């Protein structure tokens, strides 16, 4: 994801003195000389100053200098500077002292790595204050501690929930910076948030608000994603934000239908996780799934479609001409018509240890947020379809090696020719055919795989830091059981495939993408016998809107 331009924020210069008159005088002198390029913040006690520093840290602001008086009740200047070092170790530290306290200032050089001590009074400041501070600011700028004004995520490298949070933010186009809780920068943020690292992950918003172990819905609400429909009744409800659903939202809204799209995680679907799609019409140089999803999302919103994130549909009800969608949280919305574009999920790999290590080195799909952590690692990709090949090519940029594991004798039956050629020409990628994963093992995270040759029965244990799984396609249609006709694998039957299926009530035959319930349509991968290609899904999404218009005209 492209890093957005950092908000221009002036570096902070903080002064701490318990004497209000002296505090104002120090701030006045600093503001007069440095106020144009710096923000002067003053506090009248050490605890007050530390609390302010924590807020600045959470908001991602830079602190250039800390100027503290030595003699203060509650907390001396040395004690303050010692604790402030944990939050802003790069800030330049200055102690204000009277002549009689110079010995304390000298001791502080060793205790808090003091940069300078200033004797009070310093009149005139042009001679006794500004030259000292100028030198300190120059040193700070030469080796600054960069501010992080964006959303920050603190977690463990091998935490399943930390991975899920990063994936949610990345797939929704929300820029963030990742910190590991056991590294100095992460520890500083934990201290600023008042946490000890036992409750992770922690997400800190740009405004400095810490979210402890947040749910997807909490993240959506706090970070500006719409999670609640604005109306109770629409012309068209689209369930699922993959290519088919986004196309339906674009065409529905652009043709005047009051349209809302409901997505449980992030727009883009499985295609949105593809590192590069090279066979999509109109993009000769290829396009990442994330870029394609972001453009489609903006396009849908431009035409007036509502996009609702982090809401899961759990039931479809038919009430006369009204179609009702119920959510997991008990809410519901109604519409004249519904388009189901819920896509598919990768099937679970039935190998010992995989379930326990999911999110801790074992992943379904290949989110860019995790793929970037694969530098110099031994990585395995399980599956032989295009999604697996695209992931292998992307992972090979950073990983030490990438091994594709497929059950069949070759890739030709399931992968596009252009991808097979790229894989063959990539020296970092190896393909192991007629091979399956039997076991995944590791202490808290994936470390080894046991592979078996399905022709000879031979087994081999290999070192593996991460495994990305792309096998099969399981439709997300359990919530439609008993409402819509589905095939033996759970895919939704539509149009001509509904022949000889009970439940159709109208004299006319069902439209091409119409389900066994009139006014409810299915598009993309969730539909039985669909093409399972991005271009086909987009075409079906746009075609479904045309059929919705036809249905509404007949009703």
Q: What CA–CA distance (Å, rounded) separates 392 from 24?
A: 61
Q: Averaged over 221-230, what is the pLDDT?
A: 91
Per-residue tokens: 216: 């997807």
Query: Count of residues for the chain?
Result: 555
**What does the pLDDT look like over 85-115, one tens digit per residue?**
888 988 999 988 876 566 666 666 666 678 8
**What does the pLDDT look like over 178-189, one tens digit per residue?**
999 999 999 999
The dihedral over CA atoms of 183, 185, 186, 188, expressed in degrees to the nearest 10, equals 120
490 phi-psi bin (left φ>0, alpha ψ -120 to 50, beta other): left
Per-residue tokens: 234: 């629409």
Domain ranges of the chain: 12-142, 151-218, 233-345+474-554, 354-469
Q: Which of 351, 349, 352, 341 is nearest to 365 (CA)?
A: 349
Q: What CA–CA distance (Å, rounded) separates 75 from 169?
A: 41
Residue 319 has pLDDT above 70, yes or no: yes
Residue 454: phi and psi, rounded to 5, are: -80, 0
Residue 5 has pLDDT above 50, yes or no: no
Q: Quote the pLDDT of residue 183.
A: 93
- Between strands 435-441 and 429-432, the pairing is unpaired
Mean pLDDT rounded to a whole number for the chain: 90
**What does the pLDDT look like over 469-486, one tens digit per residue?**
999 888 989 999 999 999
Q: How many CB atoms lie within 10 A of CB 97?
A: 20
Residue 144 has pLDDT above 70, yes or no: no
**What does the pLDDT look like over 504-533, one tens digit per residue?**
888 899 999 999 999 999 999 999 999 888
Rg, C-alpha atoms of the chain: 30
CATH for 233-345+474-554, among 3.50.50.60, 2.60.40.60, 1.50.10.10, 3.40.50.2000? 3.50.50.60
**Helix/strand/coil for 186:** helix
Into which CATH architecture does domain 354-469 fall? 3-Layer(bba) Sandwich (3.50)
Q: What CA–CA distance (Å, rounded) separates 193 from 210?
A: 6
Q: Averaged over 211-222, what is the pLDDT?
A: 93
Q: What CA–CA distance (Å, rounded) separates 401 from 409?
A: 21
**What does the pLDDT look like over 363-418, one tens digit per residue?**
998 766 677 789 899 999 999 999 899 999 999 998 999 999 999 999 998 899 99
Q: Quote the pLDDT of residue 3.
A: 46
Of the chain, the percentage scoring pLDDT greater than 70 comes to 94
Say whether domain 151-218 belongs to CATH 3.40.30.10. Answer: yes
Residue 242 · residue 344 · CB < 8 Å = no
Residue 441 has pLDDT above 50, yes or no: yes
**Helix/strand/coil for 490:** coil
User: How far from 5 is each of 13, 45, 145, 146, 148, CA to CA, in Å?
Assistant: 23, 35, 17, 14, 11
The listed range with the strongest mean pLDDT (43-52, 86-95, 163-172) is: 43-52
Q: Quote the pLDDT of residue 139.
A: 87
Question: Contacts by 540-543 with C-beta closer than 8 Å and gap 24+?
Answer: 540/244, 540/247, 540/513, 541/243, 541/244, 541/245, 541/246, 541/247, 541/248, 541/250, 541/251, 541/339, 541/341, 542/247, 542/248, 542/250, 542/251, 543/512, 543/513
CATH fourth-level superfamily of 12-142: Response regulator (3.40.50.2300)
Confidence of residue 124 (pLDDT cuts 50, 70, 90): confident
Q: Do 233-345+474-554 and 354-469 share a fold?
A: yes
Q: What CA–CA distance (Å, rounded) separates 288 from 204?
A: 28
Confidence of residue 443 (pLDDT cuts 50, 70, 90): very high
Residue 273 has pLDDT above 80, yes or no: no
Q: Quote the pLDDT of residue 102.
A: 64
**Helix/strand/coil for 432:** strand
Residue 504 · residue 493 · CB < 8 Å = no
Q: Quote the pLDDT of residue 92.
A: 92
Residue 14 has pLDDT above 90, yes or no: yes
């Amino acid at each position: 994801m492209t890093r957005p331009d950092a908000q221009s924020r002036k570096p902070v210069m903080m002064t701490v003195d318990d004497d209000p008159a002296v505090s104002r005088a120090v701030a006045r002198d600093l503001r007069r000389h440095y106020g144009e390029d710096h923000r002067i913040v003053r506090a009248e006690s050490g605890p007050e100053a530390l609390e302010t520093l924590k807020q600045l840290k959470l908001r991602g602001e830079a602190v250039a200098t800390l100027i503290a008086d030595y003699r203060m009740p509650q907390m001396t200047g040395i004690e303050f500077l010692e604790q402030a070092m944990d939050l802003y170790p790069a800030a330049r530290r200055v102690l204000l002292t009277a002549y009689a306290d110079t010995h304390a200032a000298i001791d502080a050089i060793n205790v808090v790595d003091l940069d300078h001590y200033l004797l009070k009074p310093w009149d005139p400041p042009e001679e006794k204050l500004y030259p000292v501070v100028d030198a300190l600011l120059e040193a700070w700028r030469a080796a600054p501690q960069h501010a992080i004004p964006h959303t920050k995520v603190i977690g463990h490298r091998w935490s399943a929930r930390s991975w899920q949070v990063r994936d949610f933010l990345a797939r929704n186009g929300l820029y963030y910076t990742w910190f590991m809780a056991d590294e100095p920068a992460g520890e500083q943020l934990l201290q600023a948030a008042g946490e000890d690292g036992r409750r992770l992950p922690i997400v800190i918003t740009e405004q400095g608000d810490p979210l402890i172990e947040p749910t997807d819905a909490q993240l959506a609400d706090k970070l500006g994603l719409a999670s609640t429909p604005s109306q109770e009744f629409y012309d068209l409800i689209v369930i699922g934000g993959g290519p088919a659903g986004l196309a339906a939202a674009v065409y529905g809204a652009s043709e005047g239908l009051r349209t809302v799209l409901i997505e449980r995680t992030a727009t883009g679907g499985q295609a949105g996780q593809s590192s590069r799609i090279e066979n999509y019409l109109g993009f000769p140089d290829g396009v990442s799934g994330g870029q394609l999803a972001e453009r489609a999302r903006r396009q849908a919103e431009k035409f007036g479609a509502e996009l609702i994130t982090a809401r899961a549909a759990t039931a479809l009800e038919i009430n006369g001409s009204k179609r009702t969608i119920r959510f997991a949280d008990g809410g519901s919305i109604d519409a004249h018509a519904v388009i189901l574009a819920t896509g598919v999920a990768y099937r679970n790999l039935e190998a010992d240890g995989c379930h326990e290590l999911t999110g801790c080195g074992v992943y379904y799909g290949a989110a860019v947020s995790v793929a970037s952590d694969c530098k110099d690692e031994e990585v395995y990709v399980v599956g032989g379809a295009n999604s697996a090949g695209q992931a292998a090519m992307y992972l090979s940029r950073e990983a030490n090696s990438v091994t594709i594991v497929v059950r069949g004798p070759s890739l030709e039956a399931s992968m596009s020719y252009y991808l097979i050629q790229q894989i063959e020409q990539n020296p970092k990628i190896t393909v192991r055919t007629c091979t399956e994963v039997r076991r995944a093992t590791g202490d808290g995270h994936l470390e080894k795989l046991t592979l078996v040759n399905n022709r000879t029965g031979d087994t081999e244990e290999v070192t593996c830091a991460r495994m990305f799984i792309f096998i099969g396609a399981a439709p997300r249609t359990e919530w439609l059981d008993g409402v819509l006709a589905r095939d033996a694998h759970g895919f939704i039957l539509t149009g001509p495939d509904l022949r000889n299926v009970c439940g159709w009530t109208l004299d006319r035959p069902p439209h091409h993408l119409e389900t066994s319930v009139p006014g409810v349509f299915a598009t993309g991968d969730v539909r039985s016998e669909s093409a399972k290609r991005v271009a086909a899904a987009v075409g079906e999404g746009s075609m479904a809107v045309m059929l919705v218009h036809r249905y509404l005209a007949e009703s």
